[in-house]
Structure 1
Amino acid sequence: MKTWILILFLFMITSCSGSSGSQNLTWYKNATISQISEDPDKPEDFLCISIGISPQVFYLSKKESTYKSLLDKLNQSLKKGKPFSIGIENKTNIIKQINDVK
């Protein structure tokens, strides 16, 4: 009986954790970047990213595995005014995903 409870428990944990990825993001569609700067509190870890005319500030982690590709898209938006859909992780304000606007 304990084995079945353990299997059921592990199944529940893995099924719940797999679905939280995109649901944990707030999306800013057709957003353009107005400023990119070092985070004054943790410059070795984060960049501050301002989105929009009335800027809202979010963060890009320099330790993120996709840091270079995300930064490239952010620079395209800043320099060329290219809009993107930007996924911000809830409760952390860290940019996790950037998609092209279709």
Structure 2
Amino acid sequence: MKAWTYILLFFIMITSCSGNSSSQNLTWYKNSTITNIIEDPDKPDDVVRIAIGISAQVFYLSKKSSDYNTLFEKAKQSFKRGKAFDIGIENNTNIIRQINEIKK
């Protein structure tokens, strides 16, 4: 019986530690609206500056990202139409990695 307890404990530890590591590396701004989109004057070929919320926290959208076009379209929707999204910012870089529809 003791062996089964250890096996069960081991299984629980493995499954609880596994998961989507990319989402663990993101800070989420839930139900947020983009208030400004401008070209970055310091790195115009690399990033676009994105301001989120009333306090206008500034983040970046990398033009070199493989999903840049999709993310930029969602950012424009939020900015122009006031549409709110859940926005995932990569920790320690301030780069926007995900813009998701709000789950109801």
User: Residue 64 of structure 2 aligns with which residue?
Assistant: 63
Matched residues in 1 for 2:44 and 2:98: separation?
21
TM-score (structure 1 length as normaliser): 0.81
Matches within 5 A, 1:14-53: 19-53=20-54
Matched residues in 1 for 2:23 and 2:43: separation?
27
Runs of at least 5 residues in structure 2 that lack an aligned partner in the other structure: 1-16
Which structure would you say has the larger Rg? 2
Matched residues in 2 for 1:52 and 1:93: separation?
15
Runs of at least 5 residues in structure 1 that lack an aligned partner in the other structure: 1-15
User: Residue 73 of structure 1 aligns with which residue?
Assistant: 74
Identity %: 67
Matched residues in 1 for 2:25 and 2:40: separation?
23
The alpha carbon displacement at 1:19 in A equals: 4.5
The alpha carbon displacement at 1:54 in A equals: 1.2
Matched residues in 1 for 2:64 and 2:33: separation?
23
Distance 1:29 1:41, change over 3 A: same
What root-mean-square deviation, in Å, do the aligned CA atoms of Structure 1 and Structure 2 show? 1.6
**How many residue pairs end up in the alignment?**
87
The alpha carbon displacement at 1:20 in A equals: 2.3
Q: Which residue type is aligned with residue 60 of structure 1?
A: L
Deviant stretches of 4+, over 2 Å = none
* Residue aligned with 1:54, SS: coil
Matched residues in 1 for 2:75 and 2:20: separation?
27
User: Residue 99 of structure 1 aligns with which residue?
Assistant: 100
